[in-house]
Structure 1
Amino acid sequence: MNKGLFISLSVIILGFSIFFILGINTAPAITYFPDDEDSSFTSANSNLELFLPKGNDSYQLAWTTDSRSDKEMYLRQDASLLFDNGRLRGVRSKWVQDTDHIQIEEKLVSEDSSFFQVISFHHGEIHYPNEQIKSIRQMSADHLYVIDSPNTSLDAFKTPENEFESEWKNLLNRTTKQQLLYHWNRLFTYFDISGESYLSVPLTSLHKYNNEPLPTMTRDETNKIMGQLWEGLYKNYIIPAVNTENNQLQSYIPIILFDKQNQHLLVLFELNAKKYKLIQQYAN
């Protein structure tokens, strides 16, 4: 590893202390309803790109989400969370009635080398006669490594294409992981939880359950759990974060704990120096 990597590591550990919560309309809430087998998303995507260098010490990041359903729905909602080296950098949510399409586009200024991760939840609510309500849902995610070192030119990539980028990926992954493990272990200790009883999944990795079920569960059971999980996350994590002043926001990637006995799940997170444990019991 070259000298420039070690110099930048100290900058990364210090972190970028300015966080942005972007404008959000918090009503109505995301609500879980049974699956609508006659409706679906035709597309659902999140994307991060390096937009333009902003100056000698900063750059612009383009953060977008886009989803389209196969028909207009009574209510369409998308919520997206952006993390920077494991720390919450921004939240964006949008809801529109009687539409099949939602797009969110944001540009924000950042500096220093970073591992950016975005996780988004796309939701549609369909109303039928006789007050019957059903829903569809899907997750999407993306990531971006940005190298902003005084010894190299500005660079960004999703998958490394050479040894230099591979070294940076490993460095940023290791730094982020160490920071998150320290944070999560404090939560485990505070709530006196044994990790051996749970399958631990970071919030930013939940999208893999779009295509695979939770261990020993069916696809339908997993779908229901994910829908109810995001209902709780919206109410207890996203809205409180949005209602926090920008310069006071402090949070890391929440950790989701799936009970190996298939009875419940836990969500552990810290928001603005307060620790939280959410419990979601699985319905029979």
Structure 2
Amino acid sequence: MKHIWMFAFIGFLAIVFSYLFMSSEDMAVIQYFPIDESHYFTEAQTTITTSNDEKNDQISWNISSSSNEPMYLRQDVSLLYVNGRLKGVVNKWKENAQHLEKESTLQSEDSKKYEAISFHHGEIHEDNGEIKSIQATSNDTLYLIDSPHSKEESFQEPQTNEEKEWAKNLDHAIQQQLEAQWDELLSYYQIPRDKYIHVPLTGLTDYSEEHPFPGTTAANFDRILGQLWEGLYKNYVIGIEDSETKHPIQSYIPLLLLDKNGKHLIVLYEDDAGNKHQLIQYY
């Protein structure tokens, strides 16, 4: 077997906070199957927008995808992080479907950076019994500046000098928190940091067939990515949905460690109850 998932599952993953978006009927399981070249997504996107209404500021988080034909199972999973901490999960699926869409809203408070990453999946059952799939990953980022010293505004990419300064300060503060968490995880699992490329989960969309993981090829990128999301779904997303523990602290963005020799990758994260987790995927 070319790929093996090993994971340390210590306790339950706990998520509780003021906004949590998911449907109790979402029980489908993402599973990687060989890519079907005759089917594809005509749309797969994640968007984060704001009303910019001074009296009622709301953040809108929208996930949508469409395939060229209806499929046996269509599923979209999305994770929303605010200032580096998990704020919500969307897990939407439908049988014999071609289009999926889910919009969630939350109140905005103070200056924050919103980041969402989504995995769009389609499962196809052929008449001969063969099962294939299609997949896509999308993301979006929104900076919301809400300060008594400046006019409230939002942007995806900073353009003005003022926006660049706000984005720089927010990014720096968030990165410091993430680095502290990740350093603790690297030390706990005694992982040599110089042997890996360090990528936050929200940066996964930087990789593609044109820019595969280090040491791998475009030919096996889809398989590696599909199996990565399969593992994340089974161990991370379902852990959030099944959590019975209630804890006020929100978990940080997981860290992906990409082996520079192209042999494997590791996912590290700590849940809301302080339990540490390690997922290892061999290519």
How high is the TM-score relative to the length of structure 2? 0.88
Q: Do the aligned partners of residues 237 and 249 (structure 1) sit closer, same or farther apart at CA in structure 2, a change above 3 Å counting?
A: farther
Q: Does 1:226 align with 2:225?
A: yes
Aligned partners of 1:94 and 1:253: how far apart in 2?
21
Gaps of 5+ in 2: 1-15
Q: Do the aligned partners of residues 254 and 185 (structure 1) sit closer, same or farther apart at CA in structure 2, a change above 3 Å counting?
A: same
| Residue 198 (structure 1) shift | 1.2
Alignment match, 2:100: 102
Alignment match, 1:127: 125
Higher RCO by CA contacts (8 Å cutoff, separation 6 or greater): 2
Kindly indicate whether the alpha-carbon contact (under 8 Å) linking 2:70 and 2:97 is maintained by their aligned counterparts in 1: yes
Kindly indicate whether the alpha-carbon contact (under 8 Å) linking 1:54 and 1:60 is maintained by their aligned counterparts in 2: no
Aligned partners of 2:138 and 2:26: how far apart in 1?
20
Q: Does 1:79 align with 2:80?
A: no
Kindly indicate whether the alpha-carbon contact (under 8 Å) linking 1:77 and 1:122 is maintained by their aligned counterparts in 2: yes
| Residue 59 (structure 1) shift | 2.5
Which amino acid is 2:279 matched to? L
Which amino acid is 2:101 matched to? Q
Output one character per residue of 1:100-126: Cα deviation in whole Å (capped at 9) or x when no partner: 111110111131100111100000000
Q: Percent identity?
A: 43
Aligned partners of 2:120 and 2:194: how far apart in 1?
31
Output one character per residue of 1:238-266: Cα deviation in whole Å (capped at 9) or x when no partner: 11123346764521110111222222211
Question: Bigger shift: 161-170 or 46-55?
Answer: 46-55
| Residue 19 (structure 1) shift | 4.2
Question: Bigger shift: 226-235 or 209-218?
Answer: 209-218
Aligned partners of 1:114 and 1:96: how far apart in 2?
33
Question: Bigger shift: 218-227 or 207-216?
Answer: 207-216
Which amino acid is 1:42 matched to? T
Alignment match, 1:258: 258
Alignment match, 1:11: none
SS of residue matched to 2:166? helix
| Residue 213 (structure 1) shift | 1.4
Alignment match, 2:276: 275
Alignment root-mean-square deviation, CA:
1.8
Aligned partners of 1:241 and 1:54: how far apart in 2?
33
Aligned partners of 2:27 and 2:234: how far apart in 1?
10
| Residue 96 (structure 1) shift | 0.6
Output one character per residue of 1:130-188: Cα deviation in whole Å (capped at 9) or x when no partner: 32000010000100000111222321111223111111011111111111111111100
Kindly indicate whether the alpha-carbon contact (under 8 Å) linking 2:214 and 2:261 is maintained by their aligned counterparts in 1: no
Kindly indicate whether the alpha-carbon contact (under 8 Å) linking 1:21 and 1:246 is maintained by their aligned counterparts in 2: no
Number of residue-to-residue matches in the alignment? 264
| Residue 18 (structure 1) shift | 4.2
SS of residue matched to 1:39? coil
Gaps of 5+ in 1: 1-16
SS of residue matched to 2:253? coil
Aligned partners of 1:147 and 1:246: how far apart in 2?
30
Question: Bigger shift: 74-83 or 25-34?
Answer: 25-34
After superposing on structure 2, the runs of 4+ consecutive aligned residues of structure 1 that deviate more than 4 Å are none
